[in-house]
Structure formats: C-alpha cells, structure tokens
Amino acid sequence: MSSPPAASTHLKKSIPYDQWISYRIGRGEQGVLTFEPYKSSLLPLWRFRSVPIARKSASDLWARFEEFDEQSDFAGMDMVRKFIQMGMTRSKRYANHAGGRKYRKGTREELPKSAAHKDKQEKEAASQIFREVWERCKAHEGYQRGKEEFLKQQAEWRKGQDAK
C-alpha cells in the first residue's frame, strides 16, 4: 500500500467500500493495529510517556474523532476510540507494573503489581486523561448514531455478499 494519507484526508473515501464496510467494531482495542489506512494515520498521534504528552495525544486524537464524525466515518471514529482506550490501558499497565511488563517472560503468569515505582503517579494521571476522552467518545451522540447506522449498513452489505 502507498504511504499513509495526510491527517486531513477523508480516509473513508480513500479505501474501497468493501474494505471499509468489513471493519469490525470488536471488543475493546481489537484490530486497532491492523485496519489500514486508519492505523497508519492515527498511530503517530498515540503517545502516553508523560502527562503533557498524553494530554496532547488525547487532544489530537479527539480532534481526529471529531473530523471523522463530520465525515460520517464511523470506522474512523471507532478506530480513534480504540487508540484512546489503548492509551488508557497501556498507561495503566505502566502504572501497575514497573517497566510495563504484566506477565513473566514466556508465560501467562501475571507479575505482582508494583505498589510504588518512579513513574507510577505520572502513568496513573496519563491513564486518567485518556479515560476521560474515552468516556466522551463512547457517550458522543454522533458516535452512537454512527455505530447504529454502520451496523445496519454492514448487515445489508453482508446480505448482498451472501446472495452472490
């Protein structure tokens, strides 16, 4: 695929309808790092190292969320919601586990949570910044309406695919 589109590009119009309508809302952050061209467009905006960086990242992602709303691009809105949710969960992981490692290497054995480490408070605050924006995304009227409409369109599209 070619280089990622500029931030102001209408991504929905830049990919085939069949690809766009096949988007999966999924659970939580599923698919956030796989659905192009949204991934490449949004990934550079996603940062959580410090509170100021998280604040800017959440603000930039929210601006993209609103752009996608104006463009009636639910897949874009949902991808932003996933990146914001991922900012919240990754920040929280670094707050709970020094170095961000949740599991013992090579196993699914969870490491103990850290009671206090150097960046704990900063990562907690970064997580809270993302949480507030994530809640705003989920409650957004355009998001709710877009989700309902997208699911209807997707169901109709699938019926047409099954009829082929």
| Domains of the chain by residue range | 30-163
CB neighbourhood size of 100 (10 A): 13
pTM equals 0.87
Query: Can you tell me the distance from the alpha carbon of 73 to that of 112, in angstroms, rounded to the nearest whole number?
Result: 41
pLDDT of residue 9: 57
Residue-wise pLDDT tens for the chain (164 aa)?
333 334 445 788 888 998 999 899 988 888 899 899 999 999 999 999 999 999 999 999 999 999 999 999 999 999 999 999 999 999 999 898 888 888 888 888 888 888 888 889 999 999 999 999 999 999 999 999 999 999 999 999 988 888 87
Asked if 143 contacts 81 with a C-beta cutoff of 8 angstroms, the reply is yes
| Token output for 31 | 């698919």
pLDDT of residue 104: 83
**Which parts of 31-91 are beta strand (E)?**
none
pLDDT of residue 113: 84
pLDDT of residue 1: 31
| Token output for 35 | 């659905």
| Token output for 67 | 């752009």
CA-to-CA separations, 148 to 104, 145, 161, in angstroms, rounded: 41, 5, 20
Amino acid letter, 87: G
